Structure 1
Amino acid sequence: MGLSNSCLPVKLCSCHSASRRNSIIRKKLEHEELIRINAMDINRVSEDELLLLPGVNRQLAHHIVEYRQANGGFKQTNELLQVNGMTPRLFKSICTEMTLSTSNEKKQLLDLNVATYTELCCLPGLTPNLATKILNRRHQKRGFHCVEELLKVKGMDYIILSTIRPHVTIKYQQTATASDKTETLSRASLFLDTLPPEIHAMLVSSSSQQSTRRANGESRSKHFRIASWNLQQLTSDKAQNPGVQEVICRIILLNNFSIIAIQEIGSKESLDFIINELNNPTIPSIKNLSNSSQGKWKYTISDAVDQIVQGCEHLGFLYDGSSGIELKQTSSLRCQGYFERSPYIAVFGIYNKIELVLVNMHLTAKKSDEDKNEQTKYEAKALSVLARAMKDTIKQKHKIILGSFNIIPTASDFEALIECNYSSVIAENTDISLKMLQGTSCVDNIWLSIEAKALYTGSSGVIRHSLTSPWIPTGWTLGGLVSDHCPLWTEFSLS
């Protein structure tokens, strides 16, 4: 009996220890599962999302994205150690929070209109309380019409929205009935309602001086302006941001642009959002611009020319159909062996007087770990081949090659193009960052044939001001730039 009593505490202690071990193991497994669910896909995560990782700053996040673009994605997670600025210690601390997809895997986005409570709780940054509120609003409003409508949910803010945005979507075809469309608020209105009063007032009050300048500008029947703008991964998500729309449309309207060549378009739908705002403005500062309500803006876009972080890259043109500009013909120039991205060519009729050939280019970007970009240099030299080919096959004389060249116009690689009687019009820096507003290099340009130069008024420039918006996220804050490239323009006259 004494023996039994002495063994009893030991047995109870043993059972207690086993229960405790099981509890620890269970919690560890739950923690690992939570990490697995919320892990960042290193081949899809954005630069801003990388900042959420402990120890990763903006410079390192940029290097990670650059390395991924230059090498066609990561093949294994330990490849992060080859990124400039990554240390073994930092890699060890973040590797458990990273996952890896192949280029063939398709990211499954969670449809907010059919998502369950459990699925919502698995989204990074979303608490059970917020998940419940989202479901309640979805039920009350018979579904969401856009992701930004989440800002109407109490407790939701811009930071949480930017965190979950890469993981969610709205399947419009399931929710957009005829009656719904008439009741749906514009994205701009949704954002305006959630902004602090001082920011709301700042955006509503447009610059009367700039509006007057546009209204009293030179006659557009005599002069027209052609611009180029690398909009840096203009995906549908980015194009739906009212801050992005406001900056792009305001710059276009205030500077009297007639045709704009766009690089780095992330999807064919992206330009729809810009065109809709130009033609039927909902943002107050765009509404207040003279004649913006009479817009007949159109666009043309190429097939995919390359891969970017969040999809395929396209090249395209925006043009004002109300100002005597008519699109005649478009084509992608298949210059295999010369250019990694096929140039996109468009022929425009100008006031029924001349036909102008525009060639939209985006040459290969410089790799972060290279002192010299041999690929870009090779493509720059190939521009002379393109110029000679157009001379032999295109009847129009007035030709313009414009876009992102990723190499300065004074480089010796452009000598062959100059020998074909082309000349560049931009000498200023065309890149920009919040830390370096004056830029560092002239990486974008507009090259004119000798016939096009005869129409050139001598006026051109790079726009460096008013390219930010309090709606555009930059890391953990708002007030970011619409792109790290500035818009550049040149003016022509038919007088």
Structure 2
Amino acid sequence: MGGLNSCLPSPIDTIHALRRRRRNLLTKIKHDQIRSNNNNNNKNNSINLNHASEDEFLMLPGINRQIAQNIIQYRQLNNGFKRIDELLYITGIDHDLYECIRFDISIDSFSQNLVNNKQECININSATYNQLCTIPDLTPILIKRIIERRERKGSFRFVEDLLSIKGIDYIVLASIRSYITVDDRQIPISVSQSLILDQSVNNLYPTLNKNNNNNNNNNITSDSLSLASLLLETLPPELQTILLSSTSSQHPLVTCQNKQTYIRFASWNLQQLTNDKVQNPGVREVICRTILEYNFSLIGIQEIGNKEALDYIIEELNHPTIPLIKDWPNHHHGKWTCITSDVSGRMFQGSEYLGFIYDESIGIELKKASLLPFKNYFTRSPYIVIFRIYDKYEFVFVNLHLKARRFDENENERTKDEALSISILAEAMNDTVEQKHIVIFGDFNILPTASEFNALVQRNYSYVIKQNTNISMKTPQGSTCVDNIWLSAEAKALTTENSGVIRDNLTSMWIPAGWTWGGLVSDHCPIWIEFDLS
């Protein structure tokens, strides 16, 4: 759920639906093949596009003399028909008429064999409406959306970009990918093979041949994330199990001392967690595995890119589909849920939301949630949520993401001002909020020892994390401490000695790392602390 009263369709139901559609698609393909073979057997009774006269074309239903003349004119200008579906290029022949006559016509066996041996892909960046109409399983509505998307945002970089168009999912893409390309470099492919094997590898061609002029190998692009999801989707279930189970080694669980009274809270900046990103199986696997491995019951999240993004994590926790999560040893089948704020502010390439994931089954109850109206003090509004835990303590959690620091020192003044404003926020809560167990946490983009936090320290708040919290493939041990958890004196009194920064097993072979794979789920490490509520 994205909020208190919202929900999403179950990904489990979605997967079953996709599998049914795939079976229906294969059945349709086989039926078309049988029907095509029957038509070839009755070829002598069909009208040959490359030899028929004008009068012979008039024998076809819906063909008048003007259309017959247009067919012959096209045939003369193009040295004959290479494919039957070229009829859609003819003025006067729409998709319905084409479907009506397609099984009553044929072309030369030489031309047909040429098409069977080498499929001429259609460039979706330059194709006209009529050309796109020749692609099986593309409806007029989808074609219109493709053209509108192309005109609005420019050329498609990858075939997988079509997934961003409403109505085109992985099944539709799998059925049309052997007919399309995004540039003029085409890979010969047998039509019969394309009916059996999804040609995901072929669509890596433009990716692998691009000039590698991007030095930021840690950027997680939606193109690569979508591609990884598509590649995994096309694999047999047995291979999915092997690959996903081998993405990381299982380390001993860091268990709580007493599950009845101990609770672990974590904070994690998940770096632009969009719907595209979270649908990558490697991303979900790393997030869910970390939650289970460290027995987290409540997690605050920053940099959520879509309001529904946390729902995918919740669904995986409640109804696991990834083998490693499904077979997790001693897996506590909790009742996971989430809450996501309205737009807190802006982040790179979109809006940012803040949110929480928590397990209701252990006794965590949501009481209140709201973005604080502190727009003059913070670039992104703080998200304050009150939870009642074990029907005993009420905690106030303030989720923050301060403005990122820049190389320009003048720009960094805003970050420092926001850090100073936290003490004002703490004072305001002290005067208005009756709960005293307050946890201020998130991505502060500034060291906890900075002088800007002195006023917060004077109000008896203390920070938990002293280690580096960022991470990259080049600097796995990090270089700075930007994420933290600040506790009021009352909250600190309930903590144990257990807290830390998690650096291990934050990668997956399904997460892109620049131009390779095996990347990190985020450039921030999850941080955590344990409370004893006995």
What TM-score does the superposition give when structure 2 sets the normalisation length? Answer: 0.61
Quick one: distance in 1 between partners of 2:373 and 2:520? Answer: 33
**Alpha-carbon deviation of 1:129?**
5.2
**Alpha-carbon deviation of 1:122?**
5.3
Counterpart AA for 1:414: F
| Residue among 467, 484, 487 paired with 1:445 | 484
In the TM superposition, what whole-angstrom CA distance separates every residue of 1:356-389 from its partner, at most 9, and x where no partner exists? 0000000000124448711100000000110011
Quick one: distance in 2 between partners of 1:364 and 1:420? Answer: 23
Contact 2:289 2:325 in 1 (8 A): yes
Correspondence for 1:305: 344
Aligned counterparts, 1:244-393, within 5 A: 244-292=283-331, 294-370=333-409, 373-393=412-432
Quick one: distance in 2 between partners of 1:358 and 1:318? Answer: 12
Contact 2:439 2:488 in 1 (8 A): yes
1:123 equivalenced with 2:162 (yes/no): no
Correspondence for 1:463: 502
Quick one: distance in 2 between partners of 1:477 and 1:125? Answer: 25
1:488 equivalenced with 2:527 (yes/no): yes
| Residue among 251, 260, 274 paired with 1:235 | 274
Indicate how the Cα distance of structure 1 residues 196 and 368 shifts in structure 2: closer, same or farther if over 3 A, else same. Answer: farther
Indicate how the Cα distance of structure 1 residues 355 and 161 shifts in structure 2: closer, same or farther if over 3 A, else same. Answer: farther
Q: Which has the larger radius of gyration?
A: 2
In the TM superposition, what whole-angstrom CA distance separates every residue of 1:276-306 from its partner, at most 9, and x where no partner exists? 1111111111112235362311000011122
Correspondence for 1:421: 460
Indicate how the Cα distance of structure 1 residues 283 and 355 shifts in structure 2: closer, same or farther if over 3 A, else same. Answer: same
SS at the partner of 2:302? strand
Quick one: distance in 1 between partners of 2:205 and 2:527? Answer: 32
Contact 1:121 1:128 in 2 (8 A): no
Quick one: distance in 2 between partners of 1:479 and 1:355? Answer: 40
Correspondence for 1:410: 449
Correspondence for 2:84: none
Quick one: distance in 1 between partners of 2:466 and 2:448? Answer: 7
Segments of 5+ residues of structure 1 without an aligned counterpart are 1-33, 39-97, 101-106, 141-150, 171-184
Contact 1:265 1:315 in 2 (8 A): yes
Segments of 5+ residues of structure 2 without an aligned counterpart are 1-122, 128-152, 156-161, 211-220
Contact 1:280 1:295 in 2 (8 A): no
In the TM superposition, what whole-angstrom CA distance separates every residue of 1:309-346 from its partner, at most 9, and x where no partner exists? 34321000000111111111100001021001000111
Contact 1:278 1:292 in 2 (8 A): no
Contact 1:302 1:315 in 2 (8 A): yes
**Alpha-carbon deviation of 1:221?**
1.2
Indicate how the Cα distance of structure 1 residues 269 and 130 shifts in structure 2: closer, same or farther if over 3 A, else same. Answer: farther
Which sits farther off after the overlay, 407-416 or 311-320? 311-320
Quick one: distance in 1 between partners of 2:299 and 2:410? Answer: 32
Quick one: distance in 2 between partners of 1:407 and 1:246? Answer: 30
Quick one: distance in 2 between partners of 1:128 and 1:403? Answer: 48
| Residue among 246, 252, 256 paired with 1:202 | 246
Quick one: distance in 2 between partners of 1:303 and 1:261? Answer: 15
Counterpart AA for 1:153: Q
In the TM superposition, what whole-angstrom CA distance separates every residue of 1:438-466 from its partner, at most 9, and x where no partner exists? 10000000000111011011221000111
Quick one: distance in 1 between partners of 2:245 and 2:177? Answer: 39
Contact 1:409 1:424 in 2 (8 A): yes
1:153 equivalenced with 2:209 (yes/no): no
Which sits farther off after the overlay, 416-425 or 225-234? 416-425
Which sits farther off after the overlay, 369-378 or 114-123? 114-123
Correspondence for 1:173: none
Count of aligned pairs between the two proteins: 365
| Residue among 497, 514, 523 paired with 1:475 | 514
